[in-house]
Structure 1
Amino acid sequence: MAPPPYPPQGPYVPGPRAPHPAAYPPPHAYGYPAPPPSLSARFREDDWPTLRELAGRVHGCLWVPLLLCVWPALLLFAGYPLVRSARTQARRVFPADQRTVTDPSVARAQKTRAWAAALASFVILAAYGSGEDWDQAWQQFTMRLAFTPWLLLLSTPLVVLVLFRLAPAHARPGMRRGVRPAVRSVLWYFGAFTATPLLAWASVLLGRQLPAEPVWMPVGFLLMLPPVWTAMFVAFSSGRAVRSAFNTTLVHPTLPALLTGVLVWEFAAINLAVGGLPPGPPPVQLAALLGGPASVTAVAWWEVARLRSRYGVRLRSS
């Protein structure tokens, strides 16, 4: 039997181990100011940094070539506040996702279905498509981006009316309160969408009346600011307007799923009428034409079923 180890002797007796540096609280927990967020973090937030804050982060040596060039400096000092204002207003009109009920499993299924559909489309085009088919696929993608807000504007009232018809009487006042912000956001979006070409046309007409002298060039530049602001507002708000269906997600938790199921079949009909059948043999054409809308509809109805079984959200009173 081995003898027990000797206890440590002398002044070098090991003491308690110091905690890992990650275990220490951050400096601002002791009253020190927290470090300012990085510029990339500020640009990911809803409120971009002001021009003064942005100028404070730029190194002094970079201002020399910038100020020596008139147009870059003019675009920075006049263009950045304009773009920042349009983005801030777009985030104010269309805030982040306001769904009262969210299901992480449904979100994962939607993301998986989207990637699978993109991969299937790529495989079909690579196997059977020609150059014209690739061009047509890109045209359908751009057409979908342009038509989605208008289809939402036409389809959302119909789906909302169906929901009001199915909902119990005690739930309708709360649903009406959710309609008001949706109407305001629709007026903001389509007002800016309509005003952009009108303001651009008016600014061009006014610019032609100015004398052809360099001193009047800043005036022509200022005339273009209103249409640029409205165009930037439409660009920054389009994504959130589509995702929130113009803030109608507060009307009923099942509205996004129902709208998705309606829109996907509308786009399938538009693509068939404009571009015809996808490339490939008839079984592949039928699968490509109906597989996407059918899978989106299946995920949408699965979302409705999970809202009913897990969260008690029902379409009807019974």
Structure 2
Amino acid sequence: MNAWNPGGQPPYDPRAGHRPQPGPYAPPPPHGPYPPPPPNGGHPPRIPHPYGPQPYPPHPGPPVPPGPFRRLWLRIGPIHTARRVFKPSRPGIVDDALVARVQKIRTLVGLGAVVWLSVAYKVAQSVGDIADDRLSQSWNSVLMLSVTFPVAVGVLLVLAAPSARRELLRRAGRCFGAIVALVAAVAVFPAAVLSGFVDGRFATSPAMAVVTYGTTVLTFLWVVPFMFWGIGLALVHVFRTADIHETVPPLLAMALVWEMTLVDLFTGAYAGVPGPLRVLLVLGAPVSVTAVGLWELRRLRAHYGIVVRDMLMRQPG
């Protein structure tokens, strides 16, 4: 036994026919304590593509910045301008995606019900008449909201703390600006007709004719999308009154929808629809909007700690 033969085994001489005797420990397996690896490194066998080797997809490079015309369009385009004008943008404002989704679903369901009943009971003669009626009702809602909003701001100024009135007026300034922008966009058409601009009154020479008609076409191509997109955003965001406080839009929406219900009752809306369905049409919108508004106020209080009395900016005590 020595350092080279710790087990005390006799030397192994293959010429003498000696066999090594097993020591106190069994020889280790050829692959250690783990089973031998499967072929191909443990991966499933690769099946060749029936159409030969295929190239790898190209690696996506860095995003390409928009060109100068695209940047100009993003800055002054009608839809992007309408979003900047009619969507609230106060720093720190709460924007709940679930509330916005529920409002859109309620609007689409209500619109679908009105269209179906209008077609089923011949309230409107064609799809164009339905579209004109919905557009007229949307514009009437905008006008009613334009009248209701200053009254609501006046009430807030009376109830708010004196030290907070200047801040309330500053926040309401963008809301008034959105109202003025929408009214001005709609006023472009009658102003162009009454001034004779559309009739070519100022086209006194070939050059002036090109300038006049080119300006008319470009103006209408910009104003029409801005006006339609602005009406939709103004009603969805209630003239961006969330810039004042997050609880103002649901409160104003509930007030507006009940005002429009009174207008429908006095003007005899849905006269050709049977009694029960007419009641459903007249009361469906205010009841659903009120339910969504109350749910939104509750969600603001439960998830964000925002309550109605906070809009008055009074110190507790």
* 2:253 counterpart of 1:260: yes
* 3-state SS, counterpart of residue 198 of structure 2: helix
Name the residue aligned to 2:186.
193
- What one-letter code is carried by the residue in structure 2 that aligns with 1:204? V
Candidates 298, 301, 304, aligned match of 2:294: 301
- CA deviation map 1:178-201 (0-9, x unaligned): 112223333333233324432353
* Contact 1:175–1:250 (CA under 8 A) maintained in structure 2: no
Identity percentage over the alignment? 27
Name the residue aligned to 2:150.
157
Q: 1:244 and 1:280, CA in 2 relative to 1: closer, same or farther beyond 3 A?
A: closer
* 3-state SS, counterpart of residue 203 of structure 1: coil
Deviation at 1:231, TM superposition (A): 4.5
Give the alignment's Cα RMSD to 1 decimal.
Answer: 4.1
Q: 1:238 and 1:124, CA in 2 relative to 1: closer, same or farther beyond 3 A?
A: closer
Q: 1:193 and 1:281, CA in 2 relative to 1: closer, same or farther beyond 3 A?
A: closer
* 2:198 counterpart of 1:204: yes
Equivalents in 2 of 1:125, 1:224: separation in Å?
36
Q: 1:282 and 1:181, CA in 2 relative to 1: closer, same or farther beyond 3 A?
A: closer
Equivalents in 1 of 2:268, 2:246: separation in Å?
34
* 2:243 counterpart of 1:250: yes
Name the residue aligned to 1:218.
210
Equivalents in 1 of 2:59, 2:167: separation in Å?
46
Name the residue aligned to 1:36.
64
Deviation at 1:256, TM superposition (A): 0.9
Deviation at 1:275, TM superposition (A): 4.4
Q: TM-score, structure 1 length as denominator?
A: 0.64
Deviation at 1:264, TM superposition (A): 1.3
- CA deviation map 1:123-148 (0-9, x unaligned): 54465x12647676544312123223
* Contact 1:203–1:223 (CA under 8 A) maintained in structure 2: no
Candidates 4, 7, 24, aligned match of 2:36: 7
Q: 1:139 and 1:272, CA in 2 relative to 1: closer, same or farther beyond 3 A?
A: farther
Deviation at 1:236, TM superposition (A): 4.3
Q: 1:216 and 1:134, CA in 2 relative to 1: closer, same or farther beyond 3 A?
A: closer
* Contact 1:186–1:246 (CA under 8 A) maintained in structure 2: yes
Deviation at 1:153, TM superposition (A): 1.1
Q: TM-score, structure 2 length as denominator?
A: 0.64
Q: 1:301 and 1:160, CA in 2 relative to 1: closer, same or farther beyond 3 A?
A: farther
Equivalents in 2 of 1:206, 1:97: separation in Å?
41
Deviation at 1:170, TM superposition (A): 5.5
Name the residue aligned to 1:90.
82
* Contact 2:171–2:243 (CA under 8 A) maintained in structure 1: yes
Q: 1:307 and 1:165, CA in 2 relative to 1: closer, same or farther beyond 3 A?
A: farther
Equivalents in 2 of 1:6, 1:226: separation in Å?
77
Q: 1:167 and 1:103, CA in 2 relative to 1: closer, same or farther beyond 3 A?
A: farther
* 3-state SS, counterpart of residue 258 of structure 1: helix
- What one-letter code is carried by the residue in structure 1 that aligns with 2:62? A
- CA deviation map 1:185-224 (0-9, x unaligned): 333332333244323534235546525x6x7652442342
* Contact 2:185–2:223 (CA under 8 A) maintained in structure 1: yes
Equivalents in 2 of 1:86, 1:249: separation in Å?
22
Q: 1:148 and 1:260, CA in 2 relative to 1: closer, same or farther beyond 3 A?
A: same
Higher deviation after alignment, 195-204 or 299-308: 195-204
